[in-house]
Structure 1
Amino acid sequence: MTLTSGDFRVYMRQLAGWVWKEQSAAHQFGLSLQEETITEVLLLEMARKLSPLGLSVRMFSKAQEGGRVRKTKGVAPGGVEAEAEEVVIEAEGADWEWFFEGPGGCMASFRVQAKKLYKDNPIKDGRYGGFKPGDRQIQDLIDRAMGSNPIYVLYNHPDVRNSSLFGPSRQPDFFGRDCWGCAVTTAQFMKHATSEKLDAIKPGMVPWHRFFSIGQPCRPKGAMNEIAKSAALPDGEEAQTFIPAKRRPDWVDMLSEGATGLTDLLVERQLQGVAHIDFSKIREV
C-alpha cells in the first residue's frame, strides 16, 4: 500500500483537529493537557496508523520523574463540579529531535520545542506559556540544535478571546480553524516576537500540515522562507534558513537496534525524546 502526499496532508490536518478539540474538551473539566503528553500521543498515533501505508515512525522518550502536583477545580458540562490532580513536570531536556526522510533524498533534522496556547479564566487574549521573547530558553534551543533546524510546534485551541485570528485568511490550504491545532514557527521568529501573545506569534505560524508536507523540493524549506518574511529581525541578522541533513543521526540506528544506550544519549543532549519519521517509501502525487 502507499500513502500519497495529499493523503498525508489530510491526515496531518486530522491530527491537528484532534489537538484543537481535545484541549478544548479538557478545559471544560478544568484540566490542561501538557505539551509532553500531546507530543507523545501525536507521534504514537502516526506510528500506529501510518506504518501500514508506507510511513515508518520510530520514537523513544525518557521517563521523567519528579515534578509538583497541582490541584485543579472546574465545572464540567451540566454544572457538575470536578476536581483533579495534575502533575507538572519541571525538568531539563524538554526538547525533541525529529529526523525526517522524504522522497528524493530529502533529509532534515529538527530540534523541536512544543508550546501550548494557554487558556486564562476568565477568557483573555491568548498567550503561549513558558516562554518570553528574548528569553534565554529560546537561545538555548538554538544553541543546542547543533546542525538541526530549531523550531517550535505550537498547540492551539479555540478557548481564547481572540480565537478569530485562526479564522479564514489568504494563506493557502485553509481547511477550517481546527487545522491550526498544530502549527510551526522558527526559533528565530520566536526570539524576536514582540510578546508571548497570540496576536504577536500568529503571523509567523504555518499549519503543520503545510510545514511537514511531503514533496520536492524539501517542503520545510519553503515554509521556513515564508516564516522568515514575518520575522522582525535586527539590522544585519540573516533570516533562519533550512538546513538539510547530510546523514542520519547516530541515534537512528540505535532505535533500530532496540534503543540500547538511548537514555544516556538523551540525557547527554538534553532531549526529552527522539523520533525518526521516514517518508521515503511514500508515493508522491
Structure 2
Amino acid sequence: MTSDLCYSFQKIASWVWERIELAQTSGLAFSEETITETILLDLATRHPTKVKIKAFNKTDEGVNGSDWEWWIGQAGSWFGMRVQAKRIKLPAETFAPLQRYGIKKGSTIGQIDKLLSQAKNDGLNSAYCFYFVSKKWPTLRAWPVYNFIGGGPISPQGCLVADATAVKAVGKDSLAALAPICVPWHLLVCHCAGGKFNSGSPADAGGGMLRTSRQLAASLLKVDDLGDAPDFPPRSELPSHINYLREGSDGLGRLKDADPLRGYAKERGLKGFVLIDTSESA
C-alpha cells in the first residue's frame, strides 16, 4: 500500500465529483461506463506496475457485460470483488432504478440479485461503487462523516463503496438513503482510517470496508446483523486467470493472448478485470 496510490484514489474521487457536475451543466450523459473506463485508464497509466486492467468492449464477440472483477492485495493475500458501478442522477440525487433494475413482469430477479448470486458462485464478494455529486449535502473532507474515517490532502468525495448485501437491505435508491452505509473508495489503499479497516494489508482493507458497510446498514435498519462480511475472506493465491493478467501484461493489459480472460469474461458477463498489486516487487 503506497502513498502514491492513496493520492491517486483521492484525486480521482474529486475529479469524478467535479466532472459529473460539469457534465450535468453541459447536458452530457457522462455514463458510469465512461467514468469507470476513464478512472481505470488513469490508474493503470499512473501506476503500471501496481494497477493492471483488461477490458472487453462491445466489439469483442460475446463479451458484453457491465460488472468488473477486482482483486487487491499483495503476494500471499488477495481479496476479490465483483463490482458494479452506478452514477447518480441529477437533480434528484438518486441511483434509481437500482433496487428494481432488470425486474420484468412475472420475475423477481433483478440486476442486484444477479450481482449477488454471480459473485457468490465465483467466490467473490459483491460491491457497488457509486459515482456522485451533491448539492443537498455539505461539502466535507470525508463523506459521509464518521469518527473512524479520516480526511486527506484531497477531498475523497465522488466515489463511494458499499457492500451489495447492505445496498439490497436498505431497499432505497437515493443518495440520502445509501450514503450512510458507504465508505469512501480511497480507503482501499489509504491508512487514514486509523486502522479501522486494516493493519497494512490491502486485502484486509477490502474486507474491512465491506464489513463496515454491512455494520452501518444493520445499525441503520436496527437489526442484529446482515450476515458474515466479507463472504469470502482474503486468499493466499490469485485465481489462474488473474495470475495470468498479473504475470503476462503491462498496466494496460497488453497480452500476447487474451483468450483465457475473454472466455472467462464471456461466461460470466464481465466487462473486464482490475488487479491492484501492492507487493514490494510490483
Say yes or no: TM over 0.5: yes
Could you tell me how far 1:92 is from its partner in structure 2? Answer: 5.6
The answer to whether 1:38 aligns with 2:35 is: yes
Paired position in structure 2 for 1:111? 82
State which of 257, 260, 283 in structure 1 corresponds to 2:258.
Answer: 260
Structure 1, unmatched stretches of 5+, are 66-90
Kept in 1, the 8 Å contact 2:99–2:171? The answer is: no
The answer to whether 1:163 aligns with 2:130 is: no
Paired position in structure 1 for 2:15? 18
Tell me, what secondary structure is at the counterpart of 1:27? Answer: helix
Kept in 1, the 8 Å contact 2:76–2:237? The answer is: no
Tell me, what secondary structure is at the counterpart of 2:41? Answer: helix
Tell me, what secondary structure is at the counterpart of 1:21? Answer: helix
The structure with more strand, counted as a fraction of residues: 1
Paired position in structure 2 for 1:238? 227
Query: Once the two structures are aligned, what percentage of the paired residues are identical?
Result: 28
Give runs of aligned pairs for residues 271-282 of structure 1, distance below 5 A: 271-281=270-280
Q: Distance in 2 between matches of 1:33 and 1:105?
A: 38
Kept in 1, the 8 Å contact 2:23–2:30? The answer is: yes
The answer to whether 1:131 aligns with 2:130 is: no
Could you tell me how far 1:98 is from its partner in structure 2? Answer: 1.1
Kept in 1, the 8 Å contact 2:182–2:213? The answer is: yes
Could you tell me how far 1:279 is from its partner in structure 2? Answer: 1.0
Could you tell me how far 1:268 is from its partner in structure 2? Answer: 0.7
TM norm structure 2: 0.76
State which of 206, 210, 214 in structure 2 corresponds to 1:220.
Answer: 206
Moved over 6 A (4+): 233-236
In the TM superposition, what whole-angstrom CA distance separates every residue of 1:168-193 from its partner, at most 9, and x where no partner exists?
63442124894121110001111111
Tell me, what secondary structure is at the counterpart of 1:147? Answer: coil
Aligned residues: 245
Q: Which amino acid aligns with 2:66?
A: A
In the TM superposition, what whole-angstrom CA distance separates every residue of 1:217-258 from its partner, at most 9, and x where no partner exists?
721222222212212476785143252134212222443153
In the TM superposition, what whole-angstrom CA distance separates every residue of 1:157-210 from its partner, at most 9, and x where no partner exists?
13x4x2338676344212489412111000111111141011110111111111
State which of 65, 69, 72 in structure 2 corresponds to 1:100.
Answer: 72
Kept in 1, the 8 Å contact 2:70–2:82? The answer is: yes
Could you tell me how far 1:41 is from its partner in structure 2? Answer: 1.2
Paired position in structure 1 for 2:164? 187
Greater gyration radius: 1
Q: Distance in 1 between matches of 2:160 and 2:281?
A: 23
Structure 2, unmatched stretches of 5+, are 101-107, 192-199, 249-254
Kept in 1, the 8 Å contact 2:66–2:84? The answer is: yes
Tell me, what secondary structure is at the counterpart of 2:151? Answer: coil
Kept in 2, the 8 Å contact 1:211–1:219? The answer is: yes
Q: Distance in 1 between matches of 2:55 and 2:270?
A: 8
Change over 3 Å in CA distance of 1:63–1:213 after alignment to 2? same
Could you tell me how far 1:281 is from its partner in structure 2? Answer: 2.0
Q: Which amino acid aligns with 1:155?
A: Y
Range that drifts further, 6-15 or 227-236: 227-236
Change over 3 Å in CA distance of 1:8–1:236 after alignment to 2? closer
Change over 3 Å in CA distance of 1:166–1:64 after alignment to 2? farther
State the superposition RMSD in angstroms. 2.8
